[in-house]
Amino acid sequence: METVPRSPNGFLASLSASDFELIRPHLRTVDLAANSVLVETDEMLKRTYMPHKGVISLVVRLAKGERVQVAMVGRDSIYGAFAPLVEGPVLNNATVLVPGVASTVELEPLRAAAGQSPTLRARLIRHGLAVYAQIQQTAGCNAAHTVESRLARCLLHTRDLSGSNKIVLTQEAMAQMIGARRNSVSLVAHTLQQANFIHYSRGHIEITNADGLIRTACECYAAVKAQYAGLLNCQEVGR
């Protein structure tokens, strides 16, 4: 089916011309402000987000207040893919990890459009499954792999989703990304800087040797990229 490139967001760019036309009148552009909370656990999602740049972090909050990231959504996909198809509260917080800009569409018109188009429904399902696959991989990664390899993976993934080698991340944010303590993150970030893979100063990170980070990252970085490529059948984002 013919697709018409029309957006820096992978979900929107993958839609056929007819499917895009169903939602085009309802699309709005919003800023993704740093650290803003888009929705919290058990709330009802009111709109979906399709980043052009910037990264949305999906976070689980534990009983004692710990926060652990389980997935990220950036310019490759859509946050809230399943929401137009299945009613119910969200299962995790969604916060802005890297600021940017996104297209957004409210659930009701998107639900109506998906009701008219089997191909749009199928595209939403595939993007939802891709995020679910990332959540599964993250769970296994946090249980089995070293802090160093997990941090390398997350930095690479953030670079891919944001489209920039320069990222602003606090130690707290990095600890949340990989499910580790802040002091562990500080030590590992220093090790990566000593290896000349990154330059890190006061929350500002520049990836200076992506190949070195790829060699350090665990298998999960490549696994998630392969899962996305297989499920979405579209061009990879990033390297």
The pLDDT of residue 6 is 64
The pLDDT of residue 66 is 85
Query: Does a structural domain hold residue 239?
Result: no
Same domain for 163 and 129, yes or no, is: no
The pLDDT of residue 62 is 87
Distance CA 26, CA 22 (A): 8
The pLDDT of residue 4 is 42
Can you give the CATH number for the domain in which 35 is found?
Answer: 2.60.120.10
Q: Say whether pTM exceeds 0.85.
A: yes
pLDDT tens readout for residues 56-77:
999 998 887 788 999 999 999 9
Query: Does a structural domain hold residue 173?
Result: yes
Distance CA 175, CA 181 (A): 6
Alpha-carbon Rg for the chain, nearest whole angstrom, is 18
Distance CA 149, CA 9 (A): 28
Residue 37's domain comprises: 10-142+225-232
Amino acid in position 163: G
Task: Reduce the DSSP state of residue 4 to 3 states and report it.
Answer: coil
Q: Are 45 and 90 in contact (CB under 8 A)?
A: yes
Buried b (16+ CB within 10 A) or exposed e, 21-60: ebbeebbeeeebeeeeebbeeeeebebbbbbbbbbbbbbb
The mean pLDDT values, 10 residues at a time, for the chain of 239 residues are 64 94 96 96 96 95 87 96 94 95 96 97 96 95 95 96 92 92 92 96 94 96 94 56
Same domain for 130 and 200, yes or no, is: no
Task: Reduce the DSSP state of residue 70 to 3 states and report it.
Answer: strand
Q: Residue 165: in which H helix or E strand, if any?
A: none
Backbone φ and ψ for 108, nearest 5 degrees, come out as -60, -50
Same domain for 84 and 194, yes or no, is: no
**Number of domains the chain is built from:** 2
Distance CA 189, CA 186 (A): 5
Residues 6 or more apart from 1 whose CB is under 8 A from it?
16, 119
Q: Are 70 and 135 in contact (CB under 8 A)?
A: yes
Query: Does a structural domain hold residue 2?
Result: no
CA distances from residue 210 to 86, 130, 207 in whole angstroms, order as listed: 39, 24, 6
pLDDT tens readout for residues 182-221:
899 999 999 999 999 999 998 899 999 999 999 999 999 9
Same domain for 83 and 192, yes or no, is: no
